[in-house]
A and B are shown apart, each in its own frame.
Chain A
């Protein structure tokens, strides 16, 4: 079985500040890790993914995440956020057959002017 814990349900920041959204996972098998973003009243869109290789993964809109196997973490970072980054962010893990994803409960990022 696998699980995902997003440590913060809400993160308020000011525009142009850096941000880190934290994600920890547990799994008994090798994992694939994802961050999705959901803008208000929309579906989910993939930000970035880790499947193998370099542990630092770059995604769309200037986001990046680092896979840390020893700490079972996959934190999402952006050095300077914009108002338009206001959204809910979901961390997800896949590690079994049937390509199922297990999602965290989400972190609402609010960027204030």
Chain B
């Protein structure tokens, strides 16, 4: 099992450009999450998908959209990138069973100039 995979690992965008961050998990988990990590801020939830076909806003959703394409894949889209979106983005998943444990991908480091 690869666990949670994310592509790309690194990306540089110019202000106003768009891009999609991809996330996939092969653990048959129901719930998936997107976080951003900024120095001194911990991890903040952007969007989550409790199950296939549903998505909900987290703490910092402005400037982002998501798609839960199927049970395996959960993508994050920046329609018009801004320098404030420079961050490290993590995808995570959880079985939605009784463990509550989230499994994290390796992250995508995004720089917006």
B50 within 8 A of A: yes
B58 within 8 A of A: yes
Give 1 or 0 for each of B66-98: 1 = CB within 8 Å of chain A CB. Answer: 000000000000000000000000101010101
A104 touches B42 (CB 8 A): yes
Cβ–Cβ < 8 Å partners of B107 in chain A? 42-43
A residues 77-113 with Cβ under 8 Å of B?
Answer: 90, 94, 97-101, 103-106
For this complex, into which size category does the number of interface residues on chain B fall?
A: 20 to 34
A55 within 8 A of B: no
Cβ–Cβ < 8 Å partners of A103 in chain B? 42-44
B residues 90-113 with Cβ under 8 Å of A?
Answer: 90, 92, 94, 96, 98-107
A105 touches B96 (CB 8 A): no
A45 within 8 A of B: yes
Give the docked Cα–Cα distance between A36 and B94 (Å): 15
A99 touches B42 (CB 8 A): no
A44 within 8 A of B: yes
Give 1 or 0 for each of B25-46: 1 = CB within 8 Å of chain A CB. Answer: 0000001010000001111110
Cβ–Cβ < 8 Å partners of A97 in chain B? 50
B101 touches A34 (CB 8 A): yes
Cβ–Cβ < 8 Å partners of B48 in chain A? 98, 100
**Looking at the complex, which one of B41, B50, B100, B103 makes contact with A49 (CB distance below 8 Å)?**
B100
Give the docked Cα–Cα distance between A99 and B98 (Å): 10
B90 touches A99 (CB 8 A): no
Give the docked Cα–Cα distance between A34 and B107 (Å): 20
**Looking at the complex, which one of A49, A98, A104, A106 makes contact with B101 (CB distance below 8 Å)?**
A49
Smallest distance from the beta carbon of A38 to chain B beta carbons, Å?
9
Give 1 or 0 for each of A10-28: 1 = CB within 8 Å of chain B CB. Answer: 0000000000000000000
Q: List 11 A-B contacts (CB under 8 A).
A: A43-B106, A43-B107, A44-B90, A44-B104, A90-B42, A90-B43, A97-B50, A99-B100, A100-B58, A101-B33, A106-B42
- Interface of B with A (CB < 8 Å)? 4, 31, 33, 40-45, 48, 50, 56, 58, 90, 92, 94, 96, 98-107
